[in-house]
């Protein structure tokens, strides 16, 4: 049975994966909530998106079991995830993407938050990169500044 948690400040007991909790805290506490994302629909060109901090959630999925060589049924996959929404403008149209980063909580994960994001074509931009964009009244990037 899948469980979903939104707008939590304390770690739910169901979330056992440290990296998932760390990623959730990172996304919900971004000082400047923007990421650069390479979307397949935009020919994998990097584009600035605004993270909808209010729409970041975390959760757990159904544990999967398998048999080891001695015949014991053991857990093999225990999914925990962070889902979030990012928005931008492409060709004058608002574009919304939903991202999900899922890890198997049965294993240790050595990646840091930035590496986890990069594995999903997402990168945290430097302030200089953010300053290259023009924004609408809601803070959505509408395009690059003319140089």
Per-residue pLDDT tens digits for 57-81: 999 999 999 998 999 999 999 999 9
- Using a pLDDT cut of 90, give the percent of the chain over it: 83
- The answer for 53, left when phi > 0, alpha when psi is -120 to 50, beta otherwise, is alpha
Distance CA 60, CA 62 (A): 7
- To the nearest 10°, report the CA torsion of 65, 68, 73, 75: -40
Task: Supply angle C-alpha 20, 25, 26, rounded to 5.
Answer: 95
At residue 41, the pLDDT reads 67
12 CB-near residues (< 8 Å, 6+ apart): 3, 5, 58
Query: pTM, whole model, 2 decimals?
Result: 0.91
Q: Please state the rounded mean pLDDT for residues 18-36.
A: 97
Q: Is 56 left (phi over 0), alpha (psi -120 to 50) or beta?
A: beta
- Cα dihedral 35, 78, 13, 120, rounded to 10, equals 0
Q: Band of the pLDDT at 42, cuts 50, 70, 90?
A: low
Which alpha helices (DSSP H) does 29-79 contain, by range? none
DSSP 8-state code for residue 64: E
**Residue 22 in this model has a pLDDT that exceeds 80:** yes
In degrees and rounded to multiples of 5, residue 90 shows phi and psi of -130, 125
With bands split at pLDDT 50, 70 and 90, how would you rate the model's confidence at 2? confident
pLDDT in tens, 95-147: 999 999 999 999 999 999 999 999 999 999 999 999 999 999 999 999 888 75
């Amino acid at each position: 049975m899948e469980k979903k948690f939104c707008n939590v400040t304390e770690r739910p007991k169901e979330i056992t994966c440290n990296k998932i909790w760390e990623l959730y805290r990172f996304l919900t506490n971004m000082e400047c909530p923007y990421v650069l994302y390479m979307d397949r629909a935009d020919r994998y060109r990097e584009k600035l998106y605004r993270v909808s901090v209010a729409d970041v959630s975390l959760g757990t999925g159904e544990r999967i079991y398998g048999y080891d060589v001695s015949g014991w049924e053991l857990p093999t996959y225990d999914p925990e995830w962070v889902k979030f929404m990012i928005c931008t403008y492409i060709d004058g149209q608002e574009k919304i993407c939903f991202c999900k980063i899922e890890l198997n909580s049965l294993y240790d994960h050595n990646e840091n938050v930035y590496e986890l994001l990069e594995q999903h074509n997402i990168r945290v931009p430097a302030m200089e990169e953010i300053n290259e964009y023009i924004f609408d009244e809601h803070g959505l990037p509408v395009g690059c500044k003319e140089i």
